[in-house]
Amino acid sequence: MYDGGKRHKHTGAAHLIRSNLHRMCASGVLPSWYAELQHKLVASNRPRYFRLVCICTATSAFVMGIIIGLMIPMYLLPPSAASALLHAAGSRPLNRSSSSTVVPPVVLDRTVFDTVSFVPAVQQPPVAAQPSAESTAVNSSLIANGVYWSDTVEMALPQGYDSTSASEWRKFVRKARVIKMEEGCGRMQNRLVTFDNGSTSCCRYRQNVDQIQGEIFGFYLGRYILGLPNLTPTTLSRVKPQSRQWASVKAQVSLAQWATEEKAVVMTKFVPLLLSAYIPTFLRPYDRRLHPPDVQDTPDVDASELAQWSDLVVFDYLTANMDRMINNMYNLQWNPTMMDAPAHNLAKDASTGLLLFLDNESGLLHGYRLLDKYEHYHKSILNAVCIFRRSTADAIKRLYKQNNVGELLRSAFKSSDPEFVDILPSLPEKNVKILNKRIARVHEQIVKCESMYKST
């Protein structure tokens, strides 16, 4: 009687489950493979309790899959992300309110891309106006002496930052008290620092000393040696929570988990009102080219911005920076519209039109270690450019002739940040040798272009 009662009990439970499964499959709640599974189990010679266990297991797995895959994201993700997930799964939105409104599918706008973390993403710039009849004649005044931007273009360039700006920033950072420290400057351990006069700075902290070297020596190279006005004032600093300068943010320093005693951080002046910067149309195609005839034959050229791009190409080739054009070129294999995206780690001052060469930490060290993988991208961009600023070309010729860039970098380090000479290593000699080879390659490109477009 006991065994029979037990079998009868299991039989009744199995019958109830099968009936419910049939009903759920017929109504579309459960997939049809549940019914097929049930029929196979019934047709087999397995004991009834075994069939019951299999059906219960499959049902539980399906229900748990729904809970994990859909229900949990609905409560953990933002509403817009949860809605996108539901539409991607091809299901109805699970509306937690009493309203029956169906949320429309999320359409990804492929014209909006991520850019520098503290620069708001903006739409593509408006299409240029139709060329005027005078445009081509005007363009003839943009080039001088074959391959150099003319005085007209040079005079139209934004003023940017000079060595005086860098010196004043360095003195200010050494003395000003920090009153606020918050996230908002790129990577997780970076911080946006506010000083007592209201000025702000991106404070870059890295466990890896290579990135600190890349940032500061890249600044020395661009600002003091090449004379580029596009690098925001940058200096080294040392965070001392017990000092008067940092005492107000001692708790925030602790929360940031900085090892501060023997580490240098980089302080870069924060510039507000920045816009995304886009790669010029001359440099986007596979057969990219920025030569004198291209500029002279194209109406309504923004020569002021192109002149800054020619400096950027030289600077990024010397440092082997991968985080701007190389980033876009490399990602073309996954996204064919990447060249229409903003250039990473590049921004445009909305008030002046100045291009800011930001976040140069991957240059000179990390970038050099990856030359085997990315050098063909670097060469492709350099080979595409045959117009230069005269001052930049003169600096390259001088460095090539004197072969002294290592000495100049060490001198800039000692004069600008002497108190960090014993804390931060100088640029390694092997990296200086690579830099000299890259200077020679840029010099070769300038000479080649001069021979191609000699002024008549």
Give Cα separations from 161 to 158, 168, 228, 353, 434 (angstroms).
9, 11, 8, 13, 28
Taking CB atoms within 8 Å and a gap of at least 24, the contacts of 141-146 are 142/295, 142/296, 142/301, 142/303, 143/292, 143/295, 143/296, 143/387, 144/390, 144/455, 145/390, 145/455, 146/292, 146/449, 146/450, 146/453, 146/454, 146/455
Torsion of CA 15, 19, 25, 28, to 10 degrees: -150
Cα 5 from Cα 10, distance rounded (Å): 9
Q: Per DSSP, what are the bridge partners of residue 202?
A: 192, 268
Q: What mean pLDDT is predicted for residues 433-447? A: 98
Token output for 406:
């290592």
Query: For residue 111, what are its two tokens?
Result: 């014209």
Q: What is the mean pLDDT of residues 37-50?
A: 54
Per the document, the length of the chain is 456
DSSP 339: G
CA-nearest of 215, 167, 177, 231 to 199 is 177
- Two tokens at 26? 């017929």
pLDDT of residue 104: 35
Q: Across-strand partners of 290?
A: 385
Interval 293-321: pLDDT, tens = 999 998 889 999 999 999 999 999 999 99
Q: Shortest CA distance to 311 belongs to which of 379, 382, 409, 371?
A: 382
**Residue % of the chain over a pLDDT of 70:** 69
DSSP symbols for 76-110:
HS-HHHHHHHHHHTT------SS--PPPPPPPP-T
Give the residue carrying structure tokens 């050099």: 368
> Beta strands 355-357 and 342-349: pairing type?
antiparallel
Tell whether the model's pLDDT for residue 146 goes beyond 60.
yes
> Can you give the pLDDT at residue 90?
39
Give the whole-angstrom CA distance, residue 400 versus residue 441. 9
Digit-coded pLDDT (tens) for 332-383: 999 999 999 999 999 999 999 999 999 999 999 999 999 999 999 999 999 9
Q: Residue 260 has what pLDDT?
A: 66
CA-based radius of gyration for the chain: 31
Buried residues in 237-264 as b, exposed as e (16+ CB within 10 A): bbbebeeebbebbeebbeebebebeebb
Q: Which two structure tokens, joined as six digits, stand for 233?
A: 């004032």
Q: How far apart are CA 299 and CA 133, in angstroms?
A: 9
Mean pLDDT of 445-453: 96
pLDDT at 456: 44
The alpha carbon of 19 is separated from its chain's Cα centroid by a whole number of angstroms, namely 57
Q: Using DSSP, state whether 166 is helix, strand or coil.
A: helix
Residue 102: is its pLDDT beyond 60? no
pLDDT at 1 over 60: no
pTM score: 0.72
